[in-house]
Amino acid sequence: MSTETETIRELLAHMGIPAQVQLDSQHERLIIIETEQFKLRRGWIESWFTLIDQNEQFCYFRERLRGTGQTTA
């Protein structure tokens, strides 16, 4: 597991947000958070991650790019 992946997981755990961090088929990190947890911490999560998909059980995110002007999905 990459250092960046572990860092994201540790950051979320520190904030009390259980999450899975996986690499997808394009080798980008995919952050998976339960929808209920997302609803509780939406503002904080959206400041660091971009929501790409959501269903009743899980929300799927990508890292929000910083300093590039590309802060939207």
Per-residue confidence (pLDDT) for residue 41, from 0 to 100: 93
Answer whether residue 48 shows pLDDT above 80.
Answer: yes
Confidence band for 68, pLDDT divided at 50, 70 and 90? low
Answer whether residue 70 shows pLDDT above 70.
Answer: no
> What phi and psi values does residue 29 have, to the nearest 5 degrees?
-75, 135
* CB neighbour list of residue 34: distance below 8 Å, 6 or more residues apart: 18, 57, 58, 59
Average pLDDT in the chain: 87
Sheet of strand 29-34, all strands in order from the earlier edge strand to the far edge: 19-23, 29-34, 58-63, 49-54
Per-residue confidence (pLDDT) for residue 71, from 0 to 100: 52
Return the amino acid letter for 72: T
